[in-house]
Amino acid sequence: MKTISIGTALTILASAAHGAECIDAKGAKAGFILERPGIRSEFRPAAAGMVSVANEYQSQSPQTQFLFGGLIEVFRDSETGQLAMIPFFDLRKLFPLKAGAKSETVFVRLAANKQPKGTETLEINVKGKETFSLGDCKYNVLAVRQTIKNEAGKTQDEFTALYAPDLQAVLAKRYDEGTSGESVVGYEVIKPLPN
């Protein structure tokens, strides 16, 4: 009888510990870790709507990013240099994101010892809502199509970010959407930051 009680207690503790790994909006305010093979990213809320992301790669030098709202990159720092994206628009007006929302933000990309090559445009199209799984955790995400065009209007980059507003984080990116080459690159594990 005692063995069953201890076994039951261990099962309950294991379930509680496993369930604690799913981070909610409140837990995200303390920061969290997202991982997939080859990358570990630590997310921490910062001032003025920014989210600081420290990326550790298996095959590259570490990188720090600052993302407005956890979605729009405005600064990046690594051993290869620094890069800043200066928008000519108040990014706060884009949030909170809603399905169907569309926007265009003109910005200039600045890097040390390089003159900017002109302005660029970030087009955002919030296509809808989806559910994304990280292990046993499920998150409501917005499918946010992001297109970056140069000053001449040529597309430089395009993908759909699966963005979790509760976490203020992009959990995955979908490339070549709607084609035979469609692929999804996403995190696979979420866990709290160690105390």
Residue range 95-117, pLDDT digits in tens: 999 999 999 999 999 998 889 98
- The answer as to whether 15 is a domain residue is no
Per-residue pLDDT, 5: 44
Cα–Cα nearest to 168, from 105, 110, 94: 94
Q: Is residue 53 domain-resident? A: yes
Strand partners, 78: 63, 81
pLDDT of residue 1: 44
Average pLDDT over residues 11-22: 48
12 has a pLDDT exceeding 60 = no
CATH number at residue 164: 2.40.360.10
Q: Is the pLDDT of residue 49 over 80?
A: yes
Mean pLDDT score across all residues of the chain: 89
User: Structurally, how many domains does the chain consist of?
Assistant: 1
14 lies in a domain?
no
62 domain residue, yes or no? yes
Structural domain that includes position 176 = 25-192
Detail the DSSP E strand segments found in the chain.
32-36, 39-45, 50-57, 63-68, 72-78, 81-87, 102-111, 119-134, 137-149, 155-164, 169-175, 183-186, 189-192
pLDDT greater than 80 at residue 10: no
Decide if 7 is inside a domain: no
In this predicted structure, the answer to whether residue 131 has a pLDDT above a threshold of 50 is yes
Region for residue 13 given its phi and psi (left: phi exceeds 0; alpha: psi -120 to 50; beta: otherwise): alpha
Mean per-residue pLDDT, 116-142:
95
User: Is 78 within a domain?
Assistant: yes
Whole-number pLDDT of residue 110? 95
pLDDT of 13 above 60: no
pLDDT by residue (tens digit) across 53-94?
Answer: 999 999 889 999 999 999 999 999 999 889 999 999 999 999
Q: Is residue 177 part of a domain?
A: yes
Give a yes or no: residue 3 inside a domain. no
Q: How far apart are CA 45 and CA 51, in angstroms?
A: 4
This prediction has a pTM of: 0.86
Q: Quick check: 155 and 149 in contact, CB under 8 A?
A: yes
Instruction: Sort residue 86 into left (φ over 0), alpha (ψ -120 to 50) or beta.
Output: beta
pLDDT of residue 60: 87
